Structure 1
Amino acid sequence: MSDVLIGADALRHWLQGSQAPVVLDCRARLGDPEAGARLWRDGHVPASRHLDLDRDLASPAGVRGRHPLPEPGAFAATLRRLGVESGRAVVVYDDMGGQLAAARAWWMLSQWAGHPEVRVLDGGLPAWREAGGSLVEGEEAGIEPSDWAPTFDDGAWVEADEVFSSRAMKLDARSRARFRGESEPVDALAGHIPGARCRPSADNLDESGRFKSPAALREALPEASEVISYCGSGVTACHNILACAVADLPLPRLYVGSWSEWIRDPARPIATGDY
């Protein structure tokens, strides 16, 4: 098991020990900002805390895209409110194999904020239930806040201008139909950044919703000396970065604004088809 993933059985045992991790429920539904909190209240991993995609893992949508990064100070305050500290491990999960939005939380915590030990629950909530894990309902009990002051690494992500000028491989985590421009259910324009390669985030998972083996991922993920990962709004793009971590490959940088920002400037080129 990669050190960025944890299985459901291992998490159950860890939660019973004296050094239990902070567990963050990152479930979300695009287009429904209230879904994550509702899903958490309806049933969550015991002791888990709700981490909201739209309110905690992003700032309001606008010219920077649908899920721009929050201000560092705001995200640091969120982490302190949830009791996250550098000396205590963190486990994040969702119910989409990490695609929505556990991988985004993993990336923001480990790659941007520099937390030394963040793991994603492999298979997410379905795997937890399959392993016999219980769920609890209701609001958060009292959480003791931390005093952690993260040091943020803005070199882990790129702006649109750098994407435009960079020779790095651009890796698109959206579906092939969206990449080709055959359909676009979310954004105003269809297509992809010219020269990009399509690697749907769902291809990182097996039929059970768990990550494929490191060897299988190494064989399938495209190789390049420098990679920029993007998607519709910088969320599922993190899943491809996480897949590289599972495969022990160099990590791409994240284009946070992704397609939802790219298309806001008519001067930026758009491609359709497979290339």
Structure 2
Amino acid sequence: MYTTLISATELSARIDDANVVVVDCRHDLMNLAAGRDGYSIGHLPGAVFGDIETHLSGAKRGADGVFRGRHPLPEKEALIETLRGWGVNDDTQVVAYDAHGGMFAARLWWLLRWLGHEAVAVLDGGMAAWQSIGQPLATEVPAPARGNITVRAPFVPTVTVLEVMDNLDKGERTVIDARANDRFRGENETIDPVGGHIPGAKNRFFKDNLQADGRFKDAASLREEFSRLVERPEQAIMQCGSGVTACHNLLAMQVAGLPGAALYPGSWSEWVADDSRPVATGPA
């Protein structure tokens, strides 16, 4: 069972296994059709397509009409139905991949752990790693038999915006922001019209988890780097622009043997929707 990362070589040996479901999670925040278009051009054999905007996110506003962020968590039962449609059972090994260093694939990894499904991994190095070992792509769209995955006790915690607000005064937990440094400092108005970060947050750009070839750094390196930011992982809160790339930091911490950090799903997009919440700018 793979629970964090799987190499292209390891996946190639199991790609035809009926108990392995591969999910293409490619996406582009500035071009929402790019992921599906790329999937149509070529994807890993047998892979289904997982759309960040629809399959892996929920309604942007709750039943009370309050904005929940750009990519709020889907309802668990809706996500379960999506996974069953992809052929996922309770004992299925799920493999998520993208072409962005795991930026989007980590979201599916985290969501499955949120449902209590442990056998899920991200393809280390993504499509580039797959093609680098001479493996083919396909254009056929699979028609999997319906799966029977169920909701079980989650492996991962979450926090609400109220809990993050409460922590501003208490300072008991460390907030770590996965956005690029310019966005964290408040210098990229194209992506973040209201720039800056949650007061007291630290910055860990998700790409800092990767080597030059797009694969994850080794566990010892990741452990050393994250240990500089947070003393105890269970005290950490991970956030980003909308709760997607924060999952990359959570995956990296799991690889490092530092489990227990919580996701703030609404992240920056929810935080700044209410101008009564404080904003900091500049470096951490």
Category of TM-score, reference length = shorter chain: over 0.9
Q: Residue by residue, what CA displacement relative to the aligned partner does 1:163-192 show, whole Å, maximum 9, x if unpaired?
A: 111321000000111111122322320000
Determine helix, strand or coil for the equivalent of 1:215: helix
- Calculate the aligned-residue CA RMSD, in Å: 1.6
1:41-56 aligned at under 5 Å gives the runs: 41-56=40-55
Structure 2 counterpart SS, 1:114: coil
Task: Please report how far the alpha carbon of residue 51 of structure 1 lies from its aligned counterpart in structure 2 after TM superposition.
Answer: 0.8
The corresponding residue for 2:230 is 223
Q: Residue 36 of structure 1 aligns with which residue?
A: 35
Structure-2 residue corresponding to 1:94: 98
Q: Tell me what 1:239 maps to.
A: 248
Contact 2:47-2:142 at 8 Å conserved across structures:
no
**The 10-residue stretch of structure 1 (218-227 or 151-160) with the greater mean CA deviation from structure 2:** 151-160
TM-score normalized by the length of structure 2 = 0.91
Return the offset for 1:250: 2.4
Give the structure 2 partner of residue 161 of structure 1.
Answer: 162
1:69 aligns with 2:54: no
Unaligned runs of 5+ in 1: none
1:229-275 per-position Cα deviation (integer Å, ceiling 9, x unaligned): 00000000000000001101123111101000000111111001113
CA distance, structure 1, for counterparts of residue 78 and residue 197 of structure 2? 31
1:198-228 CA deviation, whole Å, 9 max, x = no partner? Answer: 0000000010000001111111112233000
2:117–2:152 Cα contact (<8 Å) kept: no
Following superposition, the deviation at residue 4 of structure 1 comes to 0.9
The residue aligned with 1:135 is 137
Question: 1:182 corresponds to which residue?
Answer: 187
Q: Quote the Cα distance in structure 1 between the aligned partners of 2:81 and 2:181.
A: 38
Residue aligning to 1:213: 218
The alignment partner of 2:14 has SS state of: helix
Q: Which amino acid aligns with 2:119?
A: E
Q: Partners of 2:200 and 2:37 in 1: how far apart?
A: 40
- Kept in 2: contact 1:169–1:224 (CA 8 A): no
After TM superposition, the score normalised by the length of structure 1 is 0.94
Distance in 1 between residues matched to 2:70 and 2:38, nearest whole Å: 21
Give 3-state SS (helix, strand or coil) of 1:70's partner: coil
Counting aligned pairs with the same residue, the percent is 44
5+ long unaligned stretches in structure 2: 62-66
SS in 1 for 2:101: coil
2:204 maps to 1:203: no
Q: Cα distance, 1:148 vs. partner?
A: 1.9
